[in-house]
Structure 1
Amino acid sequence: MKTSHIFWGLLFIGLGLLILINNFSTIFMDWSTIWKLWPLVVILLGISLLIKHKYGKGFIAGLAAIILALAIFASFKTATHFFNNDFEIVFDDDGNYEFDITEYSEKYDSTLQFATFHFEAGAGSFKVKESTENLFDATAEGKKDIFKLKRFDNDSTAKLDFGMHGQLRFSFGGDGYKNKVSMKLNPNPVWDFTFDVGAAAMDFDFTEIKARKIKIDMGAASINLKLGDKFAETNIRVDAGASDIDIFIPETSGCEINTDGGLSSKNFDEFEKLESDLYQTSNLDEAENKIYIRIDSGVSSITVKRY
């Protein structure tokens, strides 16, 4: 049997089986991670061209077909989940959909020493640019009441959950797409952040914030993150798809970057390359403030600059 027949046959069989199983039950897998395996298909097909033995060529081609079937199905599942949960597309707006500007606020208590902030949203423009005397302030522009803010206090720690519910609306012939959020944070507590977003544009200025942990999980997005030197050790974890990532750190802070993004472009000026995916500033050991950055990404542009 020809190698091409094996490849296409197993590809269609694999896709068909995955779709059939999905129609009758839910397949629980991290599809946003699985789709990143597609470069293995190119590697395996290249290996098959180098192998002379026909059975070896057939095995490699079959394995490549199975991986490609998984990657295609994973991309479909990820896109379906994104659009089903984040968007409502309307071609004829009847004018009954209400857009508004909504204010959110939580008061600051001087007994608070720590704060955790979890932000979850789909597509949109999200900013943190200023500080506030309150614990948290936000202004949301878009679909009315699409965001909900919840607060839980435990001794000296406050937990804030701020996220979207329902769907965004993209209207052809109406007001179009709106989802903008501007946030302000109190600089006194030590903050832990979790951001879970889709196709978003993020601009976060944390220069006055005591940031202990920052975890960002994003899809096809762009982020501009500026850090200060207000806390001794900051740990940053970014998990991204096809994204544009720009991080700015103080020149006086020591920094270590660990990346896992073979297809990403990296711009780490003033960093020393220790291993293939490990970079450090020369002042990491003696610096009073240290920043540790871990980035897992697909096809992305990653820049870390010192200022």
Structure 2
Amino acid sequence: MKANKIIKGLTLILIGIIFLANTLGILDWSVWSNIFKLWPLLLVSLGLSLILRGKGLSFLGPLIILLAIILGAGAIYMGINFEGKIVSEVKTLSREIIVEVQKAPEAELVPEVKTPSETETAPEVESVQEAEVTPEVKESPKIEKASIELKFDVGKLTLNESTPLLYECISQYRYKEFEPFEKFSRTEKEANIIIYHSPVTKKRISNDIKNNWELKLNNQIIYNLSIETGAINMESNLSGFKVEKLYIKSGVSNINLVVPKYNSKIIIDTGASNIDIAIPENVGATVNIDSGISAKDLDIKDFTKKDGTYISNNYNYSEFKTTIEIDCGVSNIDVNYIDIP
């Protein structure tokens, strides 16, 4: 079979696969815009086919077409079109620790005195009018504890920086369906925050999405954090924050976590994952791992295993204590101690 026939067949197969991926919502339709921008290569292909006809190299023309399709589709997969980097939207959600509330007091009634006219023989009866009042500005109690839930389909989450606000969430996304929204409620000194995006109707290739979330916390507030996602790449250093509970539920995960210097409980429920947990030296830890196929790497000199639970050697005299529970599928798990000033 001639090489040019094989290449032409592969080209048709590739076009069919791309159309199928478009129809299923796996690959964005903008791939064809990229491919059509390479139309001058069609002239190059035809020219080579004419020049090399009968010389055994006629397959180079169809090969150029095949490579152009691969290049156009590959660029979209990497998040790039031939007009430059695809523009991302940026949205910031945040809340103050103290919320000012305006309360208008009841109107104060003051007497209105009229001067008698020359024909009046009796004093005028006093009438009353409303006095002008300024609304009272009252500060509600300062929030001391907050529960934050993050719910997103796929993306990278960074949690390292602090903020003087109650929280600050900066999200960067390419597609409107991933725009974040907030639900906020509070009772006295506690707040509940849910950050989420609309349900995703199309399943896209994760490399095509390029979502980035950055969550900033206040180091004076006590937090409960819950993160639910389909796939996550998480870089989190909680050593400078008061996090009582951290719950992570994900399908596919790459988690790099530094445990808080605070009494805490950490629960990780995930499928195929790479989990790297670092514990500050002044934090005692118990670690329970329930996994399918996994590679576990716990520093033996720092832990003792008892009844299936790993207990750190400094647990009884440590300043803070943390409980770590990991339920995962095929995973690589690394738990170790680090020195943090």
- Provide TM-score, normalisation by structure 1: 0.65
State the shift of 1:169 in Å. 7.0
Counterpart residue number, 1:100: 89
Counterpart residue number, 1:126: 157
Does residue 258 in structure 1 map to residue 270 in structure 2? no
Confirm or deny: 8 A CA contact 1:222 1:244 kept in the other structure: yes
Distance 1:112 1:171, change over 3 A: closer
Does residue 271 in structure 1 map to residue 260 in structure 2? no
State the shift of 1:281 in Å. 0.9
Pick one of 211, 214, 219 that aligns with 1:179. Answer: 211
Letter in 1 for 2:187: N
Alignment of 1:107-146 (within 5 A): 107-109=96-98, 111-142=142-173, 143-144=175-176, 146=179
Confirm or deny: 8 A CA contact 1:146 1:166 kept in the other structure: no
Does residue 289 in structure 1 map to residue 278 in structure 2? no
Distance 1:258 1:198, change over 3 A: same
Letter in 1 for 2:254: S
Counterpart Cα distance in 2 of 1:303 and 1:276: 20
Q: 1:148-204, CA deviations, whole angstroms, 9 ceiling, x for partnerless residues?
A: 1121111110111011213387889xx942211111111111111111111110111
Counterpart residue number, 1:200: 232
Confirm or deny: 8 A CA contact 1:93 1:171 kept in the other structure: no
Q: 1:110-153, CA deviations, whole angstroms, 9 ceiling, x for partnerless residues?
A: 72121101111111111112000111112111124621112111
Does residue 216 in structure 1 map to residue 248 in structure 2? yes
Query: Which consecutive aligned stretches of 4+ in structure 1 deviate over 6 angstroms post-superposition?
Result: 168-172
- Provide TM-score, normalisation by structure 2: 0.58
Counterpart Cα distance in 1 of 2:204 and 2:230: 19
Confirm or deny: 8 A CA contact 1:92 1:171 kept in the other structure: no
State the shift of 1:268 in Å. 0.9
When the two chains are superposed, the root-mean-square deviation of aligned CA atoms in Å is: 2.5
Confirm or deny: 8 A CA contact 2:294 2:332 kept in the other structure: yes
Counterpart residue number, 1:91: 29
Structure 2 gap ranges (5+):
1-24, 34-85, 99-140
What is the SS of the residue equivalent to 2:330? coil
Confirm or deny: 8 A CA contact 2:165 2:218 kept in the other structure: yes
Distance 1:257 1:171, change over 3 A: closer
Letter in 1 for 2:92: E
% identical equivalent positions: 25
Counterpart residue number, 2:187: 154
Counterpart Cα distance in 1 of 2:303 and 2:278: 17
Counterpart Cα distance in 1 of 2:325 and 2:318: 19
Alignment of 1:159-174 (within 5 A): 159-167=192-200
Q: State how many pairs are aligned.
A: 216
Confirm or deny: 8 A CA contact 1:103 1:137 kept in the other structure: yes
Counterpart Cα distance in 2 of 1:278 and 1:168: 41
Q: 1:14-48, CA deviations, whole angstroms, 9 ceiling, x for partnerless residues?
A: xxxxxxxxxxxxxxxxxxxxxxxxxxxxxxxxxxx
Confirm or deny: 8 A CA contact 1:132 1:185 kept in the other structure: yes
Counterpart residue number, 1:239: 269
Confirm or deny: 8 A CA contact 1:192 1:213 kept in the other structure: yes
Structure 1 gap ranges (5+):
1-86
Q: Rg bigger for which structure? A: 2
Confirm or deny: 8 A CA contact 1:88 1:168 kept in the other structure: no
